[in-house]
């Protein structure tokens, strides 16, 4: 076993690797950028080395600096985590050339599976079923369009490099192929530096089922059963589970055998995932699954496999990389119970899952799992940490395990309802809605489920009078908050002979709210909310419910939903009068990738104006109304959250919200 390893990653996966290394008595070295100088993984590691500025291209993608850090600190091996350089064969070559060990597969294995088109040709030779499509080298648009017609619409354009839904477009009609191809190529080039694509048949009711495989340097390879990752938005996973719901013995046997065959075909060593697409239109059948791609690394969703098989896959990685055989044979690996993983992101589900930033002023996870279940919280952040625009906006992975799917799903719902996050827009309400969706609960899951139910899943009810009253009570300073240690705070608002009424002003979104808070003789607080916002008007509260106060705001929690109210500063002058009207603002920091109109152009409502690239995804900014362009940002402009992207001529302008895509 190693004495010291360097972790070439950040966030929750770096923390995850550190925990296992610590258990095995292995010392760890963290690397960090400017933005991560005070991050949790830096605090947890035994040593830490600064490797550059915040942008990934100047830090976490600098293989030379990472290798130099490993050599300088005496690390014997490098664990890549996932993302960044984890599937970069040139980085593996750098590591090996420096006399270090890469905790993962060989560069040859990564190259064999790193490009989707080449991997599928290899799998065809190995006898593994692949999706019908074009996986060739030629990339002329005329040829690709011709192949799409041969395959039959709808088709799926996919970047041949990378993953995570980037560079992927579904095309329903030949007339849309050219535009979709251009968009996919731009996104693929930005994300992976490679704009080549493949074209495949789009499966009508696809399930995304993947098999965890593991190999060693002695020629052994095993599977650790399957995971279902069909619950996706924008081709990115949201909730994963193991085992796959509705899995039949025949399909499991065929799929796991194909996965092991694929791993052995390239002499694979380390953790890997073979991803399959399954046609579920007629149920799960052994002849209706096809190879999609192989991820030659640990997956984000690996904890659900660990939960149902009783393994530590990071420990297996370290043992195999240090020269040991696989810790278990195939006959020693069995399934037990059911597990779910929910990815908690800083994002606005109601606005098309736009990534969000902010400071996590309040962060609280459940103290324990419900009876009969176990729970893990995988995170790389703490209360007070900022969500940076430079990296993936994941806050945590909430993982639960119970005896069966029904019990595990109930545990997931309970845990999400007890999670409290304030300071950034988060997706906990969306996750809870998905976990409660009747089709999801009934195991009727496919990759289009979220898209079909998106409006219902992302809708959040307006705050009730009780919630508004709780926010007003907290804003008044009356009543002991759950975190308060002040024994006198319950007397706030008391006056001799009569109670003192306090006038409170709040805002919820664009709505102004006024309320009056007073204390009753029996110790309760009475909150009267001005109509018409609250038809009930008056509410009696004895205690403040779950909430968090943070600078200028109050967030009240009801289940998995956090209702955030702004508390206006009475001394601050409103800037509403000077706010720009008839303009579109950037909904997040990003790069203006493409501008489709020019100053003076007349546009109609819904017309695409420009494309904003943020977090390596493209977002189309469209006209909210008819008008004439007075000003528009230039291509290549780097913008921050709130930057004006488009101004309309005054005579045709209308007050508009922040842009979305």
3-state DSSP of 58-69: HCCCCHHHHHHH
Phi, psi of 309 (to 5 degrees): -115, -5
Among 332, 337, 283, 287, residue whose Cα is nearest residue 307: 337
DSSP output for 553-607: EEEEEETTEEEEEE---TTSPP-GGGS-SSEEE-SSSEEEEEE---TT-EE-TT-
Distance CA 173, CA 299 (A): 34
DSSP output for 282-345: TB--TTSEEEEEEE-S--TTHHHHHHHHT--HHHHHHHHHTTPPPSS-GGG----SEEEEEEEE
3-state DSSP of 125-192: HHCCCECCEECCCCCCHHHHHHHHHHHCCCEEEEECCCCCCCCEEEECCHHHHHHHHHHHHHHHHHHH
Among 336, 359, 360, 356, residue whose Cα is nearest residue 345: 356
SS3 6: strand
Q: Considering Cα of 168, then 298, then 434, then 482, what sign does the dihedral take?
A: negative
Which secondary-structure segment (H or E) carries 92? helix 89-97
**Active site (catalytic) residues:** 297
Distant-in-sequence, close-in-space partners of 99: CB < 8 Å, separation ≥ 6: none
Q: Decide: 123 and 48 in contact? Cβ < 8 Å.
A: no
Across 416-522, where does the E strand assignment appear?
420-422, 502-508, 511-519
Q: Decide: 103 and 5 in contact? Cβ < 8 Å.
A: yes
Distance CA 119, CA 289 (A): 16
């Amino acid at each position: 076993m190693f004495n010291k390893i360097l972790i070439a990653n950040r966030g929750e996966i770096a923390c995850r690797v550190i925990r296992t290394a610590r258990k095995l008595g292995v010392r760890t070295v963290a690397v960090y950028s400017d933005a991560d100088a005070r991050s949790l993984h830096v605090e947890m590691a035994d040593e830490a080395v600064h490797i550059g500025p915040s942008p990934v291209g100047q830090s976490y993608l600098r293989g030379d600096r990472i290798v130099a850090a490993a050599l300088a600190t005496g690390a014997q091996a490098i664990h890549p985590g996932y993302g960044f350089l984890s599937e970069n064969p040139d980085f593996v070559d750098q590591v090996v050339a420096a006399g270090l060990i890469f905790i993962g597969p060989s560069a040859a294995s990564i190259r064999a599976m790193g490009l989707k088109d080449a991997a599928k040709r290899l799998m065809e030779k190995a006898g593994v079923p692949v999706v019908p499509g074009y996986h060739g080298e030629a990339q002329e648009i005329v040829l690709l369009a011709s192949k799409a017609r041969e395959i039959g619409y709808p088709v799926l354009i996919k970047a041949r490099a990378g993953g995570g839904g980037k560079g992927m477009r579904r095309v329903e009609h030949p007339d849309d192929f050219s535009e979709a191809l251009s968009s996919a190529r731009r996104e693929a080039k930005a994300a992976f530096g490679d704009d080549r694509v493949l074209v495949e048949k789009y499966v009508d009711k696809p399930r995304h089922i993947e098999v965890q495989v593991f190999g060693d340097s002695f020629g052994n390879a095993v599977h650790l059963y399957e995971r279902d990752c069909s619950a996706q938005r924008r081709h990115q996973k949201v909730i994963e589970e193991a085992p796959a719901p509705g899995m039949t013995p025949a399909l499991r046997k065929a799929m796991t055998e194909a996965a092991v065959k694929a791993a052995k075909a390239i002499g694979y060593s380390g953790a890997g995932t073979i991803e399959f697409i399954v046609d579920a239109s007629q149920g799960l059948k052994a002849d209706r699954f096809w190879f999609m791609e192989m991820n030659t690394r640990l997956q984000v969703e690996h904890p659900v496999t660990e939960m149902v098989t009783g393994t530590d896959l990071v420990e297996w990685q370290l043992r195999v990389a240090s020269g040991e055989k696989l810790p278990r044979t195939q006959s020693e690996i069995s399934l037990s119970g059911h597990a779910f993983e929910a990815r908690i992101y800083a994002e606005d589900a109601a606005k098309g899952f736009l990534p969000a930033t902010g400071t996590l002023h309040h962060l609280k996870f459940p103290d324990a799992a419900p009876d009969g279940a176990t729970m893990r919280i995988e995170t790389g952040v703490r209360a007070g940490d900022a969500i940076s625009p430079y990296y993936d906006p994941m806050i945590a992975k909430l993982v639960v395990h119970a005896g069966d799917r029904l019990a595990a799903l109930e545990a997931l719902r309970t845990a999400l309802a007890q999670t409290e996050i304030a300071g950034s827009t988060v997706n906990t309400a969306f996750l809870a809605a998905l976990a409660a969706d009747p089709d999801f609960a009934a195991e009727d899951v496919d990759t289009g489920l979220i898209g079909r139910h998106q409006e219902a899943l992302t809708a959040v009810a307006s705050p009730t009078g009780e919630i508004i009253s709780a926010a007003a009570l907290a804003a008044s300073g009356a009543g002991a908050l759950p975190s308060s240690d002040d024994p006198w705070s319950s007397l706030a608002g008391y006056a001799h002979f009569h109670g003192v009424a306090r006038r409170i002003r709040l805002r919820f979104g664009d709505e102004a709210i006024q309320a009056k808070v007073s204390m009753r003789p029996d110790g309760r607080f009475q909150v009267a909310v001005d109509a018409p916002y609250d038809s009930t008007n008056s509410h009696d509260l004895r205690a403040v419910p779950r909430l968090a106060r943070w600078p200028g705001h109050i967030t009240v929690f009801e289940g998995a939903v956090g209702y955030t109210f702004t508390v206006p500063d009475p001394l601050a002058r409103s800037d509403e009068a000077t706010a720009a009207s008839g303009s579109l603002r950037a909904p997040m920091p990003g790069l203006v990738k493409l501008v489709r109109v020019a100053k003076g152009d007349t546009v109609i409502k819904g017309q695409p104006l420009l494309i904003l690239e943020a977090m390596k995804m493209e977002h189309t900014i469209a006209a909210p109304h008819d008008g004439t362009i007075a000003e528009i940002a230039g291509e290549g402009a780097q913008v921050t959250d709130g930057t004006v992207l488009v101004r309309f001529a005054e005579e045709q302008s209308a007050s508009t919200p922040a842009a979305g895509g």
